Structure 1
Amino acid sequence: MLCTFRSTTKQEEYHSPDKVQWNEPGAHYSLTTKETLPRFPFSIDQEGNIYVTQPLDREEKDLYVFYAVAKDEYGNPLSYWLQIEVKVKDINDNPPSCPSTMTVFEVQENEALGKRIGIFTAYDLDEANTVHSVLRYKIVQQTPECPVDGLFLIEEYEGKVQLAKQSLKKQDAPQYNLTVEVSDRDFKTLCTIEINVIDINDQIPIFEKSDYGNLTFSEDTAVGSTILTIQATDADEPFTGSSKILYRITQGDKEGRLAIDTDPHTNAGYVTIKKPLDFETAPISRIVIHAENPEPLVPGVTYNASSFATFVLVVTDVNETPVFSQFVYQAEVREDVAVNTKVGNVTARDPEGLGIRYSLRDDTRGWLRIDPTTGEIFSKAPLDRETEHVYQVQVVATEVGGSSLSSTSLFHLTLKDVNDNAPRLARDYTGLFFCHPLRTPGSLVFEATDDDQQTLRGFHFSFSLGSESLQNDWEVYRINGSFARLSTKHTNFEERVYTVPIRINDQGWPPLEGTVNLPVTFCTCVEGSCFRPAGRREGIPTVGMAVGTLLTTLLVIGIILAVVFIRIKNNRSSDKVENAQASEVKPLRS
């Protein structure tokens, strides 16, 4: 159900725009909103009449959607809710508004009649594209009224401001203020337009002097140094595009060594060094400077000799270091190139034209040599990518004669890989074991690697047994490019260490092959771990050796004790004989 009614005022509240009605008497009516509103300006009585209870404002909300509900005397719904849409029609209740407190336009003092100065646009909050929002413009006051009133006009509906009577002169008035009346059918609003008159560029910059003489600087003068201050003046209005001065070098500096910055307050120009000076290429230069405005000159006015100035720049020589053609030189060769192969070349020049002698620095591996005259670099020892992928050295260029000044550059030699390394095991596999006795055939996984550069898809090794005599006991097969599996073919193995040779081929170009030994131990296990090694490690005695050593030690100790015991017994027997003989000898009497 759609209802349409216009915005209301206080006096128009409680107007009944429409009603709803249930087919049978006794229905109770109520309204419920579809959305949360700060206020709900409608009500319904028990006859089904819907009333506006508060003022409506289209600019606040132009459409209300709510529901009418019919219930019986017990509060039970008699039907589905009825959706009601109320559209608020606009009335002209908003006056026109100015776009801002002050609208500012600019116009040059030589503009022709009819020239558009700007477009003034006000706005109205009433509904767009209706008679309530159609605005009309009219200038009601011009300040000042010199040289005459009515210098400007504004189009009635578009708001375009134009010159009406004559061109403007800043000497008459630098600024005009226009009061514009903006109206709709019922309201009027006064707005203000400010029009600034811009000075025309009818004066050229004039140098205070046309020749600044000779300036002498050494070629090592620091970049950024100010070497000269110049000054020109302009009679146009200060601090405008007509009086601002830009300085431009028109002759004598094709290399762009100099730059000129302008002081925005004084129009002074500061000539600075933008790029290093060079005695060898430009020892003397006659510099011509043009002073000009960013604003174009008015027709009939042109720049002349007063807007040009000159000076002579004299550059003195300084002994400079040699200059390399590049800061970093790069070359690439295969790692297997023959000794004395040329791998690169560097060049340097001396600004003073002296000869250059080349040498190398930081050639830590002694791989390279350089021709001291030509700068050609050769290999002087075998190269190895696996040791240095990119070999870096410094190249020194020293001038021959003069002060023997020198400079350095970098030489980076990238070594391309060749297949010169046989495959090997990726790690130590001395800990491989099977529990003895072996109940079912088992297998072990191992990994191979290669010191050569991998392909984009990684290594691609092939694996095989290194001895045909082992084919009845073992088998090996490839899992992927790097991993393989070694498996037993039966369970009848002794409790000891078996050394299984594995042949690994890298399938490169040319292909390289290596044989590695996998030590596999068969041992008694306790809780899944090897109880004792089946073989003897270097420097570690076996159990038998330990027992033999212990028995030998005990035997030696027993022999020593027996010898000591016999010697003690013999000594005691000797003592008894001597005592018996002594007792039989009679003493002499006097």
Structure 2
Amino acid sequence: MSCTFRSTTKQGQYRLPCRVQWNDPGAQYVLVEKEKLPRFPFSIDQEGNIYVTQPLDQEEKEAYVFYAVAKDDDGKPLAFPLEVHVTVEDINDNPPTCPSAVTVFEVQENEKLGSNIGTFTAHDLDKENTPNSLLTYQIVEQVPQIPVDGLFLVEKFEGKFQLGKQSLKKQDAAQYNVTVEVSDKDFKTLCLVQINVIDINDQIPIFEKSDYGNLTLAEDKGVGSTILIIRATDADEPLTGSSKILYRIIEGDSEGRLEVDTDPQTNVGYVKIKKPLDFETAPISHIVFQAENPEPLVSGVTYNASSQAGFWLIVTDVNEAPVFSQPTFQATVSEDAPVGTKVGNVTAKDPEGLDVSYSLSGDKRGWLRIDSTTGDIFTKALLDREAESVYRVQVVATERGRSSLRSTSDFHLILQDVNDNPPRLAKEYTGLFFCYPLTAPGSHVFEATDDDQMSFRGHHFTFSLGSESLKKDWDVSKINGSHARLSTKHTNFEEKVYDISIRINDGGRPPMEGTVSLPVTFCSCVEGRCFRPAGRQSGIPTLGTAVAILLITFLVIGIILAVVFIRIKKNKNKNNVEDAQAPEATPLRS
């Protein structure tokens, strides 16, 4: 069974246009929920009439389904439950609502008439696509009404906003507050729309004056100095890309000597020296500035002469020191170059065109000389890469005449190595020893090196004994390119120091050979360590000699003490004799 009831928000009991009835009298009627609801707004009387007991809201629930049951006096069902469908019809009980407290649209200054600014959409909780939810829109107020009222239009049913009379200018008003009346067939609601006007770059910067006159500066004016302040203004919105001004030098400074910094708050331009000025190359220049915006101009607007200004820069001459063609000069030469070899050349020019004289400074080893007129550099002594692989000196250029100003540059002479150093021992070997008496042949390892570069050493030293006489007692054998082993050939050695001469060849081009001496000591040992040098080792006394020296020392000390004792005794006796011969003293009388 189906029933239809119009929604209502009023309290009270309303009879539905539907009724249930059992054929036999005395039946009891009850309603049973088909679904569990927060509230069940229906009841039934004993006549089978169904009532609405609470307000219904179509927006809350559009339909209800429940059962009507007929029971006898004992509460037993008389038949199967009857399913009841109640449909709630919508009524216009909800006013339109605004989408937000304030709806914000933006529009550029140059928007054309009829341009779509945005769509305003209100809401209605009544059933969609029915006359109860059909909304209409109307603008009822514009604030401010500048330059005229009615600047905006809104489409009646869709809510589209458009420009209605003319394009906007932010100078007139930066913001408009528009009140929109939204209506359905019974209700009206007022909503607020805020329209912000966005500035566009339709104004060019204009200089306060086009000619900043003449500016005279000495050519040694410091880099970074501010030499001029310029200013242009822009009528676009302040502190935006449309009104910010950048100054560009478009004429008269091809060398990039100047730059302009802009104060972002005031748009004031500070002209500064970026590179040193030069009287000799640009004594007079006409500098022209262009004032521009970071944001591009709108179509149809271009920069013109109002955005340009200039001044005359006059540079005066200052006596300047010579200038080297480069800050550092470098040359390479073999370390065995003969004295008088030309190794390089330096050049410097005086800005005023004066002649330049060259000299050297810091030539601590006295290896070089320079031609004072040409700047050619020669060796004046033999070079040595092992002493200094890169020889650094300073070249001084002095102008001839006037104030004799000077400037300096570095000269680096790189020395290429030649094989001019014989091999030598890598360290001093003073602790080589064998325990005496030698019970079995032994050996010691030693290392060789030289002062030349690796490429000349070849890493392949060869080793041999320094004389034929050593071969009967000793043997030297190569371990690798830098190490060798000195070995005894027998055990019959004396307790002393042996100096073994060894020849070491580096195999270079040309080969270099050095003879070194390895001292090897045969000595008595205690727990594997040399107790003392051999008895006849030069410069070291034996035990007997040490005892004799000690006895002699004691003897000398005894003689000295005896002499001193005798002299003291003689002096004492002499004093006694003198006392006996002295006259007897006469007492004083008054």
Q: TM-score range by the shorter chain?
A: 0.5 to 0.7
Distance change >3 Å, CA 446–CA 107, structure 1 → 2? farther
Deviations 1:113-132 (A, max 9, x none): 79798999xxxxxxxxxxxx
Residues 139 and 178, structure 1, Cα contact 8 Å, conserved in 2? no
Distance change >3 Å, CA 162–CA 472, structure 1 → 2? farther
Offset, 1:107: 4.3
**Which residue number corresponds to residue 263 of structure 1?**
263
- In structure 1, give the amino acid aligned to 2:270: Y
SS at match of 1:354: coil
**Which residue number corresponds to residue 483 of structure 2?**
483
* Counterpart-to-counterpart distance in 2, 1:456 and 1:420: 9
SS at match of 1:470: helix
* Counterpart-to-counterpart distance in 2, 1:223 and 1:379: 40
**Which residue number corresponds to residue 349 of structure 1?**
349
Residues 261 and 269, structure 1, Cα contact 8 Å, conserved in 2? yes
* Counterpart-to-counterpart distance in 2, 1:101 and 1:460: 94
How many residues in Structure 1 have an aligned counterpart in Structure 2?
436
* Counterpart-to-counterpart distance in 2, 1:542 and 1:105: 116
Residues 497 and 535, structure 1, Cα contact 8 Å, conserved in 2? no
Residues 285 and 313, structure 1, Cα contact 8 Å, conserved in 2? yes
SS at match of 1:448: strand
* Counterpart-to-counterpart distance in 1, 2:299 and 2:212: 31
Offset, 1:192: 10
SS at match of 2:306: helix
The answer on 1:405 being equivalent to 2:415 is no
The answer on 1:501 being equivalent to 2:505 is no
SS at match of 1:471: helix
- In structure 1, give the amino acid aligned to 2:497: V
**Which residue number corresponds to residue 295 of structure 2?**
295
**Which residue number corresponds to residue 310 of structure 1?**
310
Deviations 1:338-390 (A, max 9, x none): 11111121111111111110000111110000111111111110001111122
* Counterpart-to-counterpart distance in 2, 1:103 and 1:481: 90
Residues 496 and 537, structure 2, Cα contact 8 Å, conserved in 1? no
| More displaced stretch, 399-408 vs 475-484 | 475-484
Offset, 1:549: 6.8
- In structure 1, give the amino acid aligned to 2:391: Y
**Which residue number corresponds to residue 420 of structure 1?**
420
Residues 458 and 506, structure 2, Cα contact 8 Å, conserved in 1? no
* Counterpart-to-counterpart distance in 1, 2:351 and 2:173: 63
Residues 117 and 163, structure 2, Cα contact 8 Å, conserved in 1? no
Offset, 1:455: 4.4
Identity %: 72
- In structure 1, give the amino acid aligned to 2:318: V
**Which residue number corresponds to residue 563 of structure 1?**
none
**Which residue number corresponds to residue 365 of structure 2?**
365
* Counterpart-to-counterpart distance in 1, 2:237 and 2:507: 86
Distance change >3 Å, CA 196–CA 416, structure 1 → 2? farther
- Root mean square deviation of aligned Cα: 4.2
Deviations 1:440-468 (A, max 9, x none): 11111111121112349984322222233
After TM superposition, list the pairs within 5 Å mapping 1:14-25 onto structure 2: none
After TM superposition, list the pairs within 5 Å mapping 1:115-264 onto structure 2: 144=142, 148=150, 167-170=167-170, 173-175=173-175, 196-264=196-264
* Counterpart-to-counterpart distance in 1, 2:507 and 2:117: 84
Residues 142 and 150, structure 1, Cα contact 8 Å, conserved in 2? no
| More displaced stretch, 111-120 vs 422-431 | 111-120
* Counterpart-to-counterpart distance in 1, 2:379 and 2:386: 17
SS at match of 1:279: coil
Distance change >3 Å, CA 479–CA 114, structure 1 → 2? farther
The answer on 1:467 being equivalent to 2:474 is no
Offset, 1:198: 2.2
* Counterpart-to-counterpart distance in 1, 2:142 and 2:486: 108
Offset, 1:199: 2.5
Offset, 1:476: 1.7
Deviations 1:207-233 (A, max 9, x none): 222222111110111112222222223
Deviations 1:231-269 (A, max 9, x none): 223333333333332222111111111112223333322
Distance change >3 Å, CA 195–CA 487, structure 1 → 2? farther
* Counterpart-to-counterpart distance in 2, 1:142 and 1:539: 126
Distance change >3 Å, CA 410–CA 537, structure 1 → 2? farther
Offset, 1:331: 1.8
- In structure 2, give the amino acid aligned to 1:373: T
Distance change >3 Å, CA 497–CA 249, structure 1 → 2? same
**Which residue number corresponds to residue 3 of structure 1?**
none
| More displaced stretch, 320-329 vs 354-363 | 320-329
**Which residue number corresponds to residue 21 of structure 1?**
none
SS at match of 2:472: coil
**Which residue number corresponds to residue 446 of structure 1?**
446
* Counterpart-to-counterpart distance in 1, 2:540 and 2:256: 82
* Counterpart-to-counterpart distance in 2, 1:212 and 1:171: 31
- In structure 1, give the amino acid aligned to 2:222: A
**Which residue number corresponds to residue 183 of structure 2?**
none
SS at match of 1:306: helix
Distance change >3 Å, CA 193–CA 458, structure 1 → 2? farther
Residues 340 and 378, structure 2, Cα contact 8 Å, conserved in 1? yes
Residues 523 and 534, structure 1, Cα contact 8 Å, conserved in 2? yes
Deviations 1:314-341 (A, max 9, x none): 1001111111122222222211111111
**Which residue number corresponds to residue 437 of structure 1?**
437
* Counterpart-to-counterpart distance in 2, 1:300 and 1:271: 31
**Which residue number corresponds to residue 531 of structure 1?**
531
Offset, 1:437: 1.4
Distance change >3 Å, CA 448–CA 208, structure 1 → 2? same
**Which residue number corresponds to residue 380 of structure 1?**
380
- In structure 2, give the amino acid aligned to 1:492: N
Question: Any stretches of 5+ residues in structure 2 without a counterpart?
Answer: 1-35, 39-99, 121-135, 181-190, 559-590
The answer on 1:331 being equivalent to 2:319 is no
**Which residue number corresponds to residue 274 of structure 1?**
274
**Which residue number corresponds to residue 513 of structure 1?**
513
Residues 205 and 234, structure 1, Cα contact 8 Å, conserved in 2? yes
Q: TM-score when scaled to structure 1? A: 0.64
* Counterpart-to-counterpart distance in 1, 2:534 and 2:119: 104
Residues 330 and 411, structure 1, Cα contact 8 Å, conserved in 2? yes
* Counterpart-to-counterpart distance in 2, 1:556 and 1:363: 61
* Counterpart-to-counterpart distance in 2, 1:116 and 1:428: 98
Residues 112 and 163, structure 1, Cα contact 8 Å, conserved in 2? no
Distance change >3 Å, CA 139–CA 289, structure 1 → 2? farther
- In structure 2, give the amino acid aligned to 1:270: Y
Residues 152 and 164, structure 1, Cα contact 8 Å, conserved in 2? no
Offset, 1:426: 1.7
* Counterpart-to-counterpart distance in 2, 1:466 and 1:10: 120
Distance change >3 Å, CA 102–CA 286, structure 1 → 2? farther
* Counterpart-to-counterpart distance in 2, 1:141 and 1:500: 119
Residues 441 and 490, structure 1, Cα contact 8 Å, conserved in 2? yes
Q: TM-score when scaled to structure 2? A: 0.64
* Counterpart-to-counterpart distance in 2, 1:479 and 1:507: 16
* Counterpart-to-counterpart distance in 2, 1:117 and 1:505: 97
| More displaced stretch, 518-527 vs 230-239 | 230-239
**Which residue number corresponds to residue 561 of structure 1?**
none
After TM superposition, list the pairs within 5 Å mapping 1:72-111 onto structure 2: 107-111=107-111
SS at match of 2:454: coil
- In structure 1, give the amino acid aligned to 2:512: L
Residues 152 and 162, structure 2, Cα contact 8 Å, conserved in 1? no
* Counterpart-to-counterpart distance in 2, 1:253 and 1:306: 21
* Counterpart-to-counterpart distance in 2, 1:336 and 1:479: 33
| More displaced stretch, 314-323 vs 516-525 | 516-525
Deviations 1:451-490 (A, max 9, x none): 1123499843222222333333222222233222111122
Residues 201 and 242, structure 2, Cα contact 8 Å, conserved in 1? yes
Distance change >3 Å, CA 227–CA 101, structure 1 → 2? farther
Distance change >3 Å, CA 544–CA 403, structure 1 → 2? same
**Which residue number corresponds to residue 32 of structure 1?**
none
**Which residue number corresponds to residue 44 of structure 2?**
none
